[in-house]
Every structure is written in structure tokens, then in C-alpha cells.
A = this chain, B = another copy of it.
Amino acid sequence: MKYATRMNHIRASEIRELLKLTEQPDIISFAGGLPAPELFPVRELADILHGLASREGQSFLQYGTTAGHGPLRETISRRLRQTQGVRIDADQVLITNGSQQGLDFAGKLFLDKDSVLLCENPTYLAAINAFKAYEPRFVTVPTDRDGMLPDALAAVLERERDVRMIYVIPDFQNPTGISWSAERRTQFMDIIKETDIPVLEDNPYGELRFEGETPPTLMSLDKKGQVIGLGTFSKILCPGLRVGWLAGAPQFITRLELIKQGADLHTSHLTQACIQRYAECCDLEGHIGQIRTLYKSRRNVMLDEIRCRFPDEADIVPPAGGMFLWMTLPRHVNTRVLLERSLDRKVAFVPGGSFFHEGGHENTMRLNFSNTPEDRIPEGIRRLREAYDAM
């Protein structure tokens, strides 16, 4: 028995393992990346599902097309124009099982063993895990509070010969919650356009902005068709239907469609149609507004509580949207140890070190504020302080 060499690199996500621990109902978990389920429009979705299956079941329960349900691709195309001002035709959209599948497909499309993938430092762990299946070399580009550092990017591009893809999350990044400034986005694209390297712009949280101006997406600044956009309904509607998309130049989408065909033929026809009907017949934009309002208020509670409980210890960049708050503790603190103490007190978070490909940064942590009701957040932060003091 011999496994493929890629299996030496693929390991269980620390976070998913941690999430298993935090499934007990008495734990206050700031660990996961879960949306607030109390906002899921369950009654509308139930009615739509019933209608689709009972009236059009012979079609929606049958095999569907690989690229996805036509009307849903149209809807995504229309919303990309409305929310980002980009012109992406419906046939430049490929439906995936959540955006995680888009990460896997982009890796499959571009990455050979030992070729180079550029990403932010820190970056989204599950993306790294998806890319590892293709055995690239990861090269990280430093970021600060305004996004990726242009000079550092230029230096890396100068040095590395076989860069196949750049993976970035410019809006409310996972894990840091940081949103790149408009200036940094322009600087990034100015550097990129001198190359022919494709950019994968992962944007699950962009529509969850609850304050400040919306800067242009990379896709909207892209003149050459280099940017592939990755989107999802998981954060603006619900994740359990597993519907996301890849959007970009036809040469990419045609090839990604072939990959989709081999990978699982197509995404559930029924769940796609369900989302399309919701977007068409219900108030998706109003629903997103509700999410923003709720998350903003949860963030405020968490921020106030941290400022009150960790007045001198916590360094925070208040996120203007998304689902995460990034906290840096004094240098000597190891948040993996803090997590152990915290779990004793039934509160959980994700130690930040996990998100740095080269390690280090053990004094950082990611706190999710979208999934905990406001009246539980203060108690969670109080327990966290207790755990901190017990170290």
C-alpha cells in the first residue's frame, strides 16, 4: 500500500478538530467561523424547497449541468455588477460547493508540485490545506493593517521564478479581519498587471461591511482578466446548502468547468435553484442588511468587553465588517496555552499561530463574534480574562 506523496502534507485542520471540542452546548465558542443561524430565513427557504421539489422535482432532482443552474449564474453576474461594479457575464461564472471547492479547483488548475503559490501572512488555513494537495511551495508576503505590502510583493516577484498564483482575501480577512485600503489595492494591481500571474481573490465577507466606505475589489480594478473571484452564499444566506462560485475570464472558467466535471459532475441542482428563487422572490439585500446590523452590534459588545477586561494587554484593529476580531497579547503570552486554560472555563477561540505558514506569532488569537448572542459575549470574555490570569 502506498499513498500519494501529497498525503504527507495534508493534515487535519487544527480548527476543525477544535470545533469538535466546542460542540458542547455549554461552551461559549469564539472559535468557529459560523454565521448566526437565528437569521437563516428558514420559513422562506422551506417553502421554496417544497415548491421546487413538488412542482419541478423531475427536473431539479435529475442530473444538472456542470457549470451550474443558468438562472443562478445570471443572478450572480447581476449581483457582481451591482455590488462590485464588475462586468462578468453569466457564462463566466462556475457554481461550486461553497467557495472551499473553488480553492481546491484553483489549486488543481495552476499548481504543479514545487511550483510557487504566494499568499498573505497570516492567511486562511483551510485554503492552505486545499492547496497542499497539489504540493506547491508556499511563499508568504508580509501584510500590515492596510493589507499586503507592495514593496515586499515586488521583492518576492523579483526573486521567485515560478509563481503560479497569488491567493488573497482583501476584505475582512480571515483571520485578521483587516480590509485592504483602496490605495493598497491599486498598488497591488499596478504590480500584478506587469506580470501574467493569476490572482485568486477570495471574498466571502465583502458584503458584510457595517461601517466605512467600500473600497474597490481587485476584480473591479482588473483590466487584463487576471483576477479570479471566489464568492459564496454561505455568509450572506446560509452555508448548509453549499453553494459558492468562481468568476473570471473565459479561459479560466472553461478549464475550471472541466475540473468540476471530473471532481463531482455538478453541484446539487435543487440547492442552486433554491438560492436562485430566494434571491429572485425574497429580499436578499434586506436580509444582508439584517446580518450587518446584528454583526455590528455583536462586534461592538465584544470590542467594549475586551477593552474593559484587557485594557493594557490587548492590541486590536477593530474590524469594519466580517466575522472576526484579531487580538494580539503581550509577547510572552502563548495563546495555545491560554486556550487550554480557557477550555477548562468553557470558552474557546483559535490561537493565531496556526494561521502563519512559517510559525511564530504565538501571542495572537482569532475571535469570532458572529455566532455568539450578545448576552453571552461578555461572559465569554470574562472567562477568557480568568483563564489569562490563571496562566
On A, residues with C-beta under 8 Å from B are 1-7, 10-13, 16, 32, 34-35, 37-38, 40, 42-43, 45-47, 49-54, 57-64, 66, 96-98, 100-101, 103-104, 108-113, 115, 126, 129-130, 132-134, 162, 164, 196-198, 234, 238-242, 255, 258-259, 261-271
- A266 touching B242 in the complex, CB below 8 Å, given contacts A13-B261, A42-B58: yes
Give chain B nearest CB distance to A261 CB in angstroms: 6
**Are B45 and A53 within 8 A (Cβ)?**
yes
Specify which of A2, A51, A263, A267 lies most central, judged by the most chain B CB atoms within 10 Å of its CB: A263
Task: List, sorted by A's number, 11 A–B pairs whose CB atoms are closer than 8 Å.
Answer: A2-B110, A4-B134, A10-B259, A11-B258, A37-B57, A49-B49, A50-B50, A63-B240, A96-B264, A97-B264, A126-B265
* Cβ–Cβ < 8 Å partners of A59 in chain B: 37
Q: Using Cβ atoms and an 8 Å threshold, which residues of chain B touch A126?
A: 261-262, 265
CB <8 Å contact, A5 and B112: yes
Instruction: Contact check, A255 vs B42: say whether CB atoms are below 8 A apart.
Output: no
Q: Which residues of B contact A269 (CB under 8 A)?
A: 240
Q: Does the CB pair B45–A238 fall under 8 Å?
A: no
**A255-B3, A258-B12 are contacts. A46–B49 as well, Cβ < 8 Å?**
yes
Q: Check B133–A259 contact: CB distance below 8 A.
A: yes
Name the CB-closest residue of B to A110: B4
Task: Assess whether A1 is in contact with B196, with CB atoms less than 8 Å apart.
Answer: yes
The answer to whether A58 touches B40 (Cβ under 8 A) is yes
- When distances are taken between beta carbons in the complex, the residues of chain B under 8 Å from A16 are 66, 261
* A104 and B263 contact, Cβ closer than 8 Å, known pairs A62-B239, A240-B270, A242-B268: yes
Evaluate contact between A4 and B109: CB separation under 8 angstroms. yes
Residues of B within 8 A of A198 (CB): 1
CB neighbours (8 Å) of A104 from chain B are 262-264
Of B3, B97, B108, the residue contacting A97 (CB under 8 A) is: B97
Considering only CB atoms, which chain B residue lies closest to A54 in the complex?
B46
Min Cβ gap A196→B in Å is: 4
- The 10 closest A-B CB pairs, nearest first, are A42-B57, A46-B53, A46-B54, A61-B240, A37-B58, A61-B238, A50-B50, A101-B264, A49-B49, A97-B264
Q: How many whole Å from A316's CB to the nearest CB in chain B?
A: 26
- A262-B37 in contact (CB<8A): no
Q: Are B57 and A129 in contact, with the CB atoms below 8 A?
A: no
List B contacts of A52 (CB < 8 A): 46
For A56, the closest partner residue in chain B by CB is: B42
Q: Which residues of B contact A101 (CB under 8 A)?
A: 263-264
Q: Which residues of B contact A38 (CB under 8 A)?
A: 58
Q: Which residue of B lies closest to A5 (CB)?
A: B112
